[in-house]
Amino acid sequence: MPYQLHYWPTIQGRGEFVRLALEAAGADYVDVARLPESKGGGESALGERLGDPDNARPAFAPPFLIDGDVVVGQTAAILLYLGPRLGLAGVGESDGLWTHQLQLTIADAVAEAHDTHHPISTGAYYEDQRDAAEQRAKAFRDERIPKFLGWFERVLQRNPAGSLHLVGDVQTYADLSLFQLVDGLHYAFPKATARALAKTPAVEKLHDNIKRRQRVHDYLQSPRRIAFNEDGIFRRYAELDG
Amino acid sequence: MPYQLHYWPTIQGRGEFVRLALEAAGADYVDVARLPESKGGGESALGERLGDPDNARPAFAPPFLIDGDVVVGQTAAILLYLGPRLGLAGVGESDGLWTHQLQLTIADAVAEAHDTHHPISTGAYYEDQRDAAEQRAKAFRDERIPKFLGWFERVLQRNPAGSLHLVGDVQTYADLSLFQLVDGLHYAFPKATARALAKTPAVEKLHDNIKRRQRVHDYLQSPRRIAFNEDGIFRRYAELDG
C-alpha cells in the first residue's frame, strides 16, 4: 500500500522535505491533497482529516503521513520513521541519531527563514509586519545564514568518509533536506545566499550533486514539484534580500 | 559511567528538558558546565567543547549529551536517545514515535516563546527590539498559547488510557516537557497562561501531577533546579503579558 502524504497542495513548505525523501527513494506514495476533490484531494478535505475528532493521536499541523495503521506528524518525526524504511538514515543507531540531529538543525533554520517574513504573527499579512520583517531578514542574512551554512560546511569537511555526504558515504534524508534548505534560501535570498555559499563550497557542491541525482532530477522537472511561491516558507521579496 | 549533560550553567533553557528527564528517572548524570572550573565546569570550557575541531559530529549549540562514545545534540534528539534508556518513551515503536512527535511540537512552542522577547535578532538586546516584542507577544498570548495548550488538551482528553498522561498510562519525556512548557509559560505570561489553563483542565492537572512526583518534587526543591530568570527562554517582562 502506498504511503499517504497529507500536506497543503499549493506550496512546497515543510511537506517538501518528505516529498523529496519519498521521491529520492523511488517510494510508492500519494500526495493526497493534490488529488482531485472527487478523489479526496483539496484543502478542505485536508482540514477535515486534521481535525478528525476520532483520531486519538492528531497532528498539530500538516504534514502528516499515513502508513497503514501508523499516523505520524511533524516533518522530522516523519523522516525519522521513513528514514530506515527508505534506506535514507545511514547505518545503525549512531548514524540514524546523527541524521536526525542534522534534520532538527535544518528544521531550526527553516523556522527562522519563515519568520523573516512573519516576525510578528503567522496570523497576520506580511504587508502588516513589513518593517519588522526587514529588520529580522537583515539579521538572518548577516548572522544566521552564514552560521547555519558554516556549521554544515564543517560537518561535511570533517566527515571521515569524505565531504560528499553529511553522514558516512551514503545519501540520507539530511542530505536531501540540506539541498532543499539551500534551494529555498537561494530562492528567497539570492544575494545573501550566494555570498554565504562562496564560503561554504562543500555545501554548494552537495546541493548541486543532489540536484543531479537521477530521481531527484526527474522529480524537480516533473509537475509533482510545486514551484517556489510567496505562500510558502521561502519567499522572494526583494526588500528582504541584500 | 554517568551521563554527561553539557549546557549553559546559569539558565534552565533547552537543557532543562533533558535535566528533567534525567532527574525524573533517577539517572546518574553530571551537569558538567555547573561543576567548578577546576573540574571542567564553566562557560568557557563549554564553549571549547562545542568548538572542538577534532569532533567530527559537533553540535550546533548546547545542549549536548555524552554517553561513552555517543555524543548527541539537539534537545529532542537527546530525548529520543535517552527515552527508551530511561523508560520514558512508552511501549514500542509506535509510542516512541508519538512521544517524539509531541516533543517536537513542544519544541516549536518553546521556540515561539523565545521569539516573543527576541523577534528580530538573537544577537541584539531585548531593549533594542521591544516594540516588535510587544507585538509578537500579543499574538503569542492571544493566538498561540491557546492553540498549543488546546491541542495538548485534546491529546490528553482523547488518550484511550485516560487523560493523566500524553502517551498511554505511563510517564514519558513528553509529559515532563509539557510540565516544563506550562511552568515556563506560567512564569513568563502569568495572566495569559492562567486564562488559557482555565480552558485546558487536563493540561493544568498534568502540570500539577508532574510537579508532585517525588523525584521531580525533590529536584525542583534542590539547588540543582536553576530559577527562571531573564537570561533564559521564558522571561517575565510585565509589558509582554496582559
Q: What is the pLDDT of residue B117?
A: 98
A41 close contact with B: CB closer than 8 A:
no
Q: How far apart are CA A171 and CA A90, in angstroms?
A: 7
Half-sphere exposure of B103 (CA within 13 A, CB side): 29
Cis link prior to B2 (omega < 30° from 0)? Answer: no
- Name the CATH architecture for the domain at A3-86: 3-Layer(aba) Sandwich (3.40)
**Which residues partner with A64 through β-bridges?**
A6, A73
Class of domain A92-240 (CATH, top level): mainly alpha
Q: What is the pLDDT of residue A126?
A: 97
Q: How far apart are CA B231 and CA B13, in angstroms?
A: 9
Residue matched to cell numbers 502517551? B167
Residue matched to cell numbers 527515552? B83
- CB spacing of A57 vs B81 below 8 angstroms: no
Of residues A57, A120, A123, nearest to B132 (C-beta): A120
Boundaries of every domain in chain A: 3-86, 92-240
Q: 3-state SS of chain A: helix, strand, coil percent to 5? A: 60, 5, 35
Q: Please count the helices (runs of H) and the strands (runs of E) in chain B.
A: 10, 4
Query: What stretch of H or E contains A237?
Result: none
Of residues A98, A139, A148, nearest to B57 (C-beta): A98
- CB spacing of A94 vs B70 below 8 angstroms: yes
Q: What is the pLDDT of residue B95?
A: 97
Tally of residues, chain B: 242
Which three cell numbers, joined as nine digits, stand for B221? Answer: 526543591
- Min Cα separation A41/chain B (Å): 25
Q: Please count the helices (runs of H) and the strands (runs of E) in chain A.
A: 10, 4
- CB spacing of B101 vs A155 below 8 angstroms: no
pTM of the model: 0.98
Which pLDDT band holds residue A151 (cuts at 50, 70, 90)? very high
- Min Cα separation A123/chain B (Å): 8
Which three cell numbers, joined as nine digits, stand for A8? Answer: 497543503
Question: B89-132: per-residue pLDDT in tens?
Answer: 999 999 999 999 999 999 999 999 999 999 999 999 999 999 99
Work out the mean pLDDT of chain A and round it to a whole number: 97
Question: B148-188: per-residue pLDDT in tens?
Answer: 999 999 999 999 999 999 999 999 999 999 999 999 999 99
Which pLDDT band holds residue A181 (cuts at 50, 70, 90)? very high
- CB spacing of B55 vs A151 below 8 angstroms: no
B219 close contact with A: CB closer than 8 A:
no
- Min Cα separation B191/chain A (Å): 20
Residues of A with Cβ-Cβ distance to B155 under 8 angstroms: 57-58
- CB spacing of B120 vs A139 below 8 angstroms: yes
Torsion of CA B55, B57, B58, B59, to 10 degrees: -150
Q: What is the pLDDT of residue B195?
A: 98
Which pLDDT band holds residue A218 (cuts at 50, 70, 90)? very high
Strands (E), B29-186: 29-31, 64-67, 70-73
What average pLDDT does this structure show over A45-66?
95
CATH fold match for the domains A3-86 and A92-240: no
